[in-house]
Amino acid sequence: MTTIERHEYDVLVVGAGGAGLRAAIEARERGLRTGIVCKSLFGKAHTVMAEGGCAAAMGNVAEKDSWQVHFRDTMRGGKFLNSWRMAELHAKEAPDRVWELEAWGALFDRTPDGRISQRNFGGHTYPRLAHVGDRTGLELIRTLQQRVVALQRADYFATGDYESRLRVFAECTVTELLTDDDGAIAGAFGYWRETGRFVEFSAPAVVLATGGIGKSFKVTSNSWEYTGDGHALALRAGAGLVDMEFVQFHPTGMVWPPSVKGILVTEGVRGDGGVLRNSDGDRFMFRYVPDVFKGQYAQTEDEADRWYTDQDNNRRTPDLLPRDEVARAINTEVKEGRGSPHGGVFLDIASRMPAEEIKRRLPSMYHQFKELADVDITAEPMEVGPTCHYVMGGIDVDPDTGQSSVPGLFAAGECAGGMHGSNRLGGNSLSDLLVFGRRAGLGAADYVTGLARRPSRRDRDVEAAARTALAPFDPPSRGARAENPYTLHAELQGVMNDLVGIIRTEDEMTEALERLGELRARLRHVVVEGHRQYNPGWHLALDLRNMLMVSEAVASSALMRTESRGGHTRDDHPMLDPEWRHRVLVTRCVPGEAADGLAVPRVEVEVAERAPMREDLLALFDLTELEKYYTPAELTAHPEGGA
């Protein structure tokens, strides 16, 4: 048995993006010894990449904004499949979380009278996104890190040790969760990326905040960390995942040159006045307003343009429909031959505002296009197309505490599910991770405080985790061909992109599941060269196990949901089906599945019922709007619904 470094905490947070840091701050502030583990450098998480802003109904720019309007927008964006309790908590608490960041030192852009400025984004009725140019995530992470450092400094004065109550383990990957005989969380197992040495954390509560799954798709805005680790860790520990069929394809990723295909072009470009055009110069989005949004969006270019300066008397531009609608529209334009030279459409901000204004409002976009594509966005349009961006599906948690069905296992941020239903509105992730990061930290702290005894992990689980981690160094079994992790990864990305992508059919997804089964079998024979010291091929081999589990969850759920809703579009079932509105799909590990070595435990998907929305929340909507989504039986609770 190899040597294992050991640490003991009350709460272990896996992930140091916005959700993880906010959870850790809360747990530490409640007096618990808290460890934070992140597989990338401290500060390098998706949160830092967030551009457009953080949605919160503060009413600074539009006084009429309120939590009720934000709640309505979020539910509409998610096509009413959202966990309504999460959407309610999120809309009510997001402003406090933004003000709290300001109190901790964040410097948001200001309105002329000095309040936090808020910008327009798709699906939001009012300008609602608190932002710092197009680098909002950077400020958010900087502020949370500063808060971590401030707490460590306070601990130094109290104990003489900066890390006595809050410590960050950076470039350390968690590969397995550890449980006791009753299935309660007892800790986690992982390795240091630099040395390859193993590390074990003993902790009665673990908060997963590992982000998304985008690296399973070929074209994505996500970076290397997004391999669905938290999703897979939770599955293997016995928790369920919800809504895994809902993957968001952001409408505007770069399409050219190939080396940067998928990199995000913020929705802030359209929020600030940019418009989409096809190769005929036509502002095509006016032709794509779906029935459920009819009456809410401008019908002419003049009205849409007036809306940017007078939102009380005009309707919003359809360029800012929710992301799923815009992504599908672009897909159709390209398929019907009206795309740009490199297979996207045009996004034009150059003709809409002076060059200096563009550089001031969108500095990162200006540099991104100049440096990566040699395009000057102040003089010519960008070429953009859909890119895999965000997963709405995630760990099934209690809305108020963030606890999963596994005692001691909590989740927050992108790896948790339910909040966004079938489609997330832009800006609602940064607010989600602040609201639910705090709640998960609080939930974990309360859980640990209430425990009568500390769960103990089983020796055999630690040994199995070490064996699994080392399996890629073993030669393949006799007669089997050695597999390369990079080849398997490229094939997985191709399968997910081509067969479980933006438009889906039963035949393609059935084929995808067969191909995933083959990849699962081949992963057992994966072999990596070299040693355990910084070895990216080895790291990828271990990540692949997670990516395959999560990809199977996505494909199986997508096959089962025979309707189109939000981020799930079925060519063979193109309509919303009210009967599916109250059904969510829950993925779990098949009980008793072998998980030794690199075996990928199979998953199964079952239908569960979403609890009916509370009456006072239902009453926030007009009955006529709800009738587009709900069954008559569900609407009897509406004040106008009657019997």
Q: Indicate the helix (H) or strand (E) that contains 469.
A: helix 459-470
Binding-site string for ligand FAD from residue 261 to residue 290, where x marks contact by CB under 6 A and - marks none: ---x--------------------------
Measure the CA–CA gap between 641 and 150, rounded to whole angstroms: 53
Contact 539, 255 (CB under 8 A): no
By the rule CB under 6 A, 225 interacts with ligand FAD: yes
Q: Indicate the helix (H) or strand (E) that contains 594.
A: none
- Retrieve residue 2's tokens: 């190899």
* Cβ distance to ligand FAD smaller for residue 15 or 641: 15
* Cβ distance to ligand FAD smaller for residue 270 or 582: 270
**Residues in 37-96 that interact with ligand FAD by CB under 6 A:** 37-40, 45-47, 49-54
By the rule CB under 6 A, 166 interacts with ligand FAD: no
How would you class 526 by CB atoms within 10 Å of its CB: exposed for 0-12, middle for 13-18, buried for 19 or more? Answer: buried
* Cβ distance to ligand FAD smaller for residue 170 or 451: 170
Binding-site string for ligand FAD from residue 486 to residue 525, where x marks contact by CB under 6 A and - marks none: ----------------------------------------
Q: Residue 288: how many CB atoms within 10 A of its CB?
A: 18
Out of 429, 493, 556, 569, which residue is the one contacting ligand FAD (CB under 6 A)?
A: 429
By the rule CB under 6 A, 118 interacts with ligand FAD: no
Using the contact rule CB under 6 A, the part of the chain among 36-44, 196-204, 290-298, 371-379 near ligand FAD is 36-44
Using the contact rule CB under 6 A, the part of the chain among 204-212, 306-314, 348-356, 471-479 near ligand FAD is 204-212
Binding-site string for ligand FAD from residue 387 to residue 426, where x marks contact by CB under 6 A and - marks none: ---x----------------------xx-----------x
* Cβ distance to ligand FAD smaller for residue 132 or 334: 132
* Cβ distance to ligand FAD smaller for residue 72 or 250: 250
Out of 82, 222, 423, 569, which residue is the one contacting ligand FAD (CB under 6 A)?
A: 222
Measure the CA–CA gap between 397 and 421, rounded to whole angstroms: 13
* Cβ distance to ligand FAD smaller for residue 546 or 569: 546
Residue in the shown chain whose Cβ atom is closest to ligand FAD = 17
Contact 287, 280 (CB under 8 A): no
Q: Is omega for the bond preceding 485 within 30 degrees of 0, making it cis?
A: no
Measure the CA–CA gap between 548 and 403, rounded to whole angstroms: 25
* Sequence-ordered alpha helix ranges (H) in 240-322: 268-271, 301-307
* Cβ distance to ligand FAD smaller for residue 45 or 512: 45
Measure the CA–CA gap between 364 and 360, rounded to whole angstroms: 10
- Retrieve residue 14's tokens: 């896996």
CB of residue 211 to ligand FAD, shortest distance in Å: 3
CB of residue 580 to ligand FAD, shortest distance in Å: 25
By the rule CB under 6 A, 210 interacts with ligand FAD: yes
If we measure between CA atoms, which residue out of 91, 241, 169, 191 comes closest to residue 605?
Answer: 241
Beta bridge partners of 373: none
CB of residue 639 to ligand FAD, shortest distance in Å: 33
Contact 151, 165 (CB under 8 A): yes
- Is 607 in a helix, a strand, or coil? strand
Inter-residue long-range contacts of 105-110, CB under 8 Å, 24+ positions, other chains counted: 105/143, 105/146, 106/132, 106/139, 106/140, 106/142, 106/143, 107/132, 107/139, 108/132, 108/139, 109/133
By the rule CB under 6 A, 209 interacts with ligand FAD: yes
Out of 74, 125, 136, 564, which residue is the one contacting ligand FAD (CB under 6 A)?
A: 136
Q: At what angle do helices 136-159 and 84-103 cross, to 10 degrees?
A: 70
Q: Which of 250, 504, 515, 573 is catalytic?
A: 250
Per the annotation, the verdict on 135 as an active-site residue is no
Q: Residue 595: how many CB atoms within 10 A of its CB?
A: 17
Using the contact rule CB under 6 A, the part of the chain among 18-26, 373-381, 574-582, 594-602 near ligand FAD is 18-26
Using the contact rule CB under 6 A, the part of the chain among 15-23, 82-90, 178-186, 530-538 near ligand FAD is 15-23
Per the annotation, the verdict on 22 as an active-site residue is no
By the rule CB under 6 A, 202 interacts with ligand FAD: no
Q: Going by C-beta distance under 8 Å and a sequence separation of 6 or more, which residues neighbour residue 114?
A: none
- Binding residues for ligand FAD, rule: CB under 6 A, are 14-20, 37-40, 45-47, 49-54, 136-137, 173-174, 209-211, 221-222, 225, 229, 264, 390, 413-414, 426-430, 433
Catalytic residue annotation: 250, 270
